[in-house]
Amino acid sequence: MPSYNSLDSAACEMLSACEGVVETSFSRADAMLPCSIGADALCCRHCAMGPCRLIGPHMTGVCGATRSTVVARNFARAVAAGAAAHSDHGRDIVFALLAVAKGEAKSFRIRDEAKLREVAGHLNVKTEGRTTEEIALDVAEKALAEFGKQTGSLSYFRRATIPRQEIWREQRVMTRGIDREVVELMHRTHMGTDQDPKNLLDGCIRAALGDGWGGSMLGTDLSDVLFGTPSPLKSKVNLGVLKDDEVNVVVHGHDPILSEMIVAASTDPEIIEYAKSKGANGINLAGICCTANEVLMRHGIPPAGNFLSQELAIATGAVEAMVVDVQCIMQALAKLSQQFHTKLITTSPKAKIEGADHFEFDEHHAYEDAKKIIRTAIDNYGNRGKTKIPQVNEALVAGFSHEYIRYMQGGHFRGSFRPLNDAIAAGRIRGLAAVVGCNNVRVTHDAPISQTIKALIENDVLVAVTGCAASGAAKYGYLKPEFMEQAGAGLREVCEAIGIPPVIHVGSCVDNSRLLTILTECATEGGLGEDISDLPAVGICPEYMSEKALSIGTYCAASGAYTLFGLPSPAAGSPAVMDMMLNGWMERFGGGIDFEPDIDKLIEKALAHIDLKRKELGLTEYDPERYGQSGDRLMEEILEQAGDFAPLNLYSVKDAAAAASAGNKQTV
Ligand code: SF4
Ligand code: MSK
């Protein structure tokens, strides 16, 4: 087979089948080079005197805007869009909770009351002596107010460490209302307004913090309240999860409100009977992008792939309906679905696509909407032609909410982050890394994600994954407990002791807010400094594509994390702006953004930062040879030598997951 621009053998098989027959983002990328002026952010089209291209002798635009101003303005608009996307998603979840609290959304109910009460505490909502619905109503109203707050700062900032809150106050970047910061950033970037790159970047930080500690965190928390807080479960990933003899429905996008109902409708006996009446053996649900992560984390629905798999899923000819909501949905799906029998179904009034069927989804009659969508897919089963489903899939364990991570380190009564902190302090775990974000067709699909994760775990770095990087990691077996064999000896011992894979799946891209919570818990547990910026931890986005990733990177940096992107800088046209975002932010916030397209160097930089932080904390110097001769592995060897070997249950994660989910039943 000729080589294709993907590490994923299922993707390569489909790209081979598509060659010369159907267009994909891979073939379109080959046919169109990126614009080099735009890539460096040196094009300004913020007024009709331009567009101005600040290249060659043109050091300023017609209005005199400098390269640094133009680059910072372009970056700011991307962050504003990314923060808006996440936050608007979060707002929709709040509206769903409001409808549930008012009894207007009968298809949903509150699944995690303990989390509702915890969120109520963060938002200063009284809980004592009140019904769940009363609390939920106040929580929803207070949460909505966070979006429109005109003065003061986000309530959730109280969840950050005290030193972090002080840094934000000192640096004057406390976010007011989420909407206010996004609108203000759009205002600042209007022609002739904010023309100081540093001030523009501070505006980015306020909007991005409004995303991470506001819109996204509320989105994650209230999704858990409504749909259940994830705990580990097993599933599979890749195009091989599609089935030849069942109606395949693929959910794609981000909003769990829609996908939760699709999951429920797909198990409705009446619907299953209807599928059988049309000659199918049942209904097979699969996911793409972050909707995949939402339904995987809570129901074990298998992801068919990540961002660059969306067209390839349709090209199998086996997908009766692809049901989409918001974000990361390629417009090309509309034309492509017409070349096959697939129904592309848009569901959000905010995201219609010319050529797709639009079934508007509303939480007030959600279940009926979902059943209508599934029936449409079933009716389409008879139109299926020849199929080509790559027989490639891989097992995985997903569902590590921060609540579960705390629970797995001591159980319900003694849960804490102490064992993890102790393992880091002792050097068993060298440090922590979050590997997050998208695919980007300008690099080999999944290769930077895979290379980064492999190198990190070999170097005893515990990795948490989210978004399309999580599905990418899963495809290569990294989310299987057995993969701990590939980890360094110290990390392997910890994984064996706790019963986790060396790479833990934490959720969707909105769930990067869970990473802020995990890191804050590590910092407040003690022994590793007092703040996120003290921790031997890094954030890495190897294959970013979306503007949301830039917002995520900005809020991680402003929260104290050194954050690396594996692509060229979108601020490359101004070394001064790049320096402000890396060195300037490192000095002011203890975290910064670095763009390093050479993945070998990116890994070196990540490990160097972890080691620097270990040194600053006065921790034992990391030594890869120190551990590996204790725990279960040693016991196995002893038993083997004694000739009395009986297989040990190394992977208690399965039992722990069952125990956790027993109290958190996910049936809708
Ligand atoms: Fe050109 Fe200035 Fe107008 Fe931008 S704002 S297009 S740099 S004149
Ligand atoms: S879906 S934002 S491609 S992670 Fe969240 Fe994947 Fe990136 Fe979209």
Q: Are residues 331 and 244 in the same domain?
A: yes
CATH of the domain at 188: 1.20.1270.30
Say whether 568 sits in a helix, a strand or coil. coil
pLDDT at 93 over 60: yes
User: pLDDT at position 651, please?
Assistant: 37
242 burial (CB, 10 Å; 0-12 / 13-18 / 19+) is buried
Q: Is residue 400 in some structural domain?
A: no
Q: Which domain holds residue 271?
A: 239-383
Q: Is residue 178 in some structural domain?
A: yes
User: pLDDT at position 363, please?
Assistant: 86
Instruction: Summarize the confidence of residues 45-59 as an average pLDDT.
Output: 97
pLDDT at 497 over 50: yes
The residue ranking higher by pLDDT, 498 or 393, is 393
Place 631 in a pLDDT band, splitting at 50, 70 and 90.
low
User: pLDDT at position 660, please?
Assistant: 43
User: pLDDT at position 114, please?
Assistant: 97
The residue ranking higher by pLDDT, 635 or 99, is 99
Percent of the chain with pLDDT strictly greater than 90:
89
pLDDT at 517 over 50: yes
Percent of the chain with pLDDT strictly greater than 70:
94
Whose tokens are 């219609």? That residue is: 352
Residue of 327, 441, 446, 550 best suited for mutating to test ligand 2, as the one with most atoms within 8 Å of CB? 327
User: pLDDT at position 649, please?
Assistant: 39
Q: Is residue 529 in some structural domain?
A: yes
Q: Are residues 203 and 85 in the same domain?
A: yes
| Final residue before a domain boundary, out of 227, 262, 287 | 227
User: pLDDT at position 184, please?
Assistant: 98
| Final residue before a domain boundary, out of 352, 383, 414 | 383
pLDDT at 336 over 90: yes
Instruction: Summarize the confidence of residues 243-267 as an average pLDDT.
Output: 96
Q: Are residues 607 and 510 in the same domain?
A: yes
- φ, ψ dihedrals at 234, nearest 5°: -100, 150
Q: Are residues 267 and 190 in the same domain?
A: no
Q: Is residue 41 in some structural domain?
A: yes
Distance (angstroms) between ligand 1 centre and the Cα of 81 equals 20
Q: Are residues 552 and 445 in the same domain?
A: yes
What's the domain count of the chain? 4
Instruction: Summarize the confidence of residues 332-356 as an average pLDDT.
Output: 98
Q: Are residues 375 and 267 in the same domain?
A: yes
Torsion of CA 118, 119, 121, 123, to 10 degrees: 180
Q: Are residues 101 and 218 in the same domain?
A: yes
Which ligand has the minimum distance to the alpha carbon of residue 191? 1
Instruction: Summarize the confidence of residues 210-219 as an average pLDDT.
Output: 98
- Over residues 63-89, the pLDDT tens digits come to 999 999 999 999 999 999 999 999 999
Place 644 in a pLDDT band, splitting at 50, 70 and 90.
very low
User: pLDDT at position 415, please?
Assistant: 82
pLDDT at 640 over 80: no
Claim: this prediction has a pTM higher than 0.85: yes
Place 414 in a pLDDT band, splitting at 50, 70 and 90.
confident
Instruction: Summarize the confidence of residues 619-628 as an average pLDDT.
Output: 89
Report the candidate in 295, 324, 298 with the shortest Cα–Cα distance to residue 311: 324
Q: Is residue 649 in some structural domain?
A: no
Report the candidate in 233, 243, 240, 263 with the shortest Cα–Cα distance to residue 251: 263
**Closest approach atom of ligand 1 to CA 192:** 5
Q: Are residues 454 and 582 in the same domain?
A: yes
- Over residues 5-39, the pLDDT tens digits come to 999 999 999 999 999 999 999 999 999 999 999 99
pLDDT at 172 over 90: yes
pLDDT at 647 over 70: no
Q: Is residue 62 in some structural domain?
A: no
The residue ranking higher by pLDDT, 372 or 411, is 372
Place 661 in a pLDDT band, splitting at 50, 70 and 90.
very low
pLDDT at 630 over 70: no
Distance (angstroms) between ligand 2 centre and the Cα of 469 equals 8
Q: Are residues 175 and 311 in the same domain?
A: no
Pairing, β 394-398 against β 233-237: antiparallel
Place 637 in a pLDDT band, splitting at 50, 70 and 90.
low
Q: What is the mean pLDDT of the chain?
A: 93
Distance (angstroms) between ligand 2 centre and the Cα of 468 equals 5
Nearest 5°: the CA angle 13, 326, 385 is 40
Q: How far apart are CA 268 and CA 281, in angstroms?
A: 14
User: pLDDT at position 199, please?
Assistant: 98
Q: Are 438 and 468 contacting, i.e. CB atoms less than 8 angstroms apart?
A: yes
**Closest approach atom of ligand 1 to CA 54:** 7
Q: Is residue 274 in some structural domain?
A: yes
- Over residues 274-288, the pLDDT tens digits come to 999 999 999 999 999
DSSP string, 181-196: HHHHHHHHTSTTS---
Query: CB under 8 Å to 65, separation ≥6 — which residues?
Result: 44, 52, 73, 195
pLDDT at 642 over 90: no
Distance (angstroms) between ligand 2 centre and the Cα of 290 equals 6
Instruction: Summarize the confidence of residues 167-182 as an average pLDDT.
Output: 97
Q: How far apart are CA 140 and CA 134, in angstroms?
A: 10
Q: Are 341 and 378 contacting, i.e. CB atoms less than 8 angstroms apart?
A: no
Binning the chain into helix, strand and coil, the percentages to the nearest 5 are 55, 10, 35
- φ, ψ dihedrals at 660, nearest 5°: -70, -40
Instruction: Summarize the confidence of residues 339-345 as an average pLDDT.
Output: 97
Q: How far is CA 466 from CA 108, 300, 512, in A?
A: 26, 15, 7
Range with the poorest average pLDDT among 315-329, 389-403, 568-582, 651-665: 651-665
User: pLDDT at position 500, please?
Assistant: 85
Q: Is residue 659 in some structural domain?
A: no
What are the DSSP E strand ranges found in 14-129?
Answer: 43-44, 52-53
Q: Are 603 and 456 contacting, i.e. CB atoms less than 8 angstroms apart?
A: yes
Place 668 in a pLDDT band, splitting at 50, 70 and 90.
very low
Q: How far apart are CA 657 and CA 254, in angstroms?
A: 25
Whose alpha carbon is nearest atom 7 of ligand 1?
61
Q: Are residues 491 and 372 in the same domain?
A: no
pLDDT at 427 over 80: yes
Distance (angstroms) between ligand 1 centre and the Cα of 442 equals 29
Residue of 546, 550, 552, 565 best suited for mutating to test ligand 2, as the one with most atoms within 8 Å of CB? 546
pLDDT at 468 over 50: yes
Which ligand has the minimum distance to the alpha carbon of residue 194? 1
Q: Are residues 517 and 625 in the same domain?
A: yes
Give the end-to-end CA distance of the chain in Å, rounded to a whole number: 45
Place 498 in a pLDDT band, splitting at 50, 70 and 90.
confident
Instruction: Summarize the confidence of residues 28-55 as an average pLDDT.
Output: 97
Instruction: Summarize the confidence of residues 616-643 as an average pLDDT.
Output: 75
User: pLDDT at position 639, please?
Assistant: 59
Place 657 in a pLDDT band, splitting at 50, 70 and 90.
very low
Q: Are residues 331 and 465 in the same domain?
A: no
CATH of the domain at 374: 3.40.50.2030
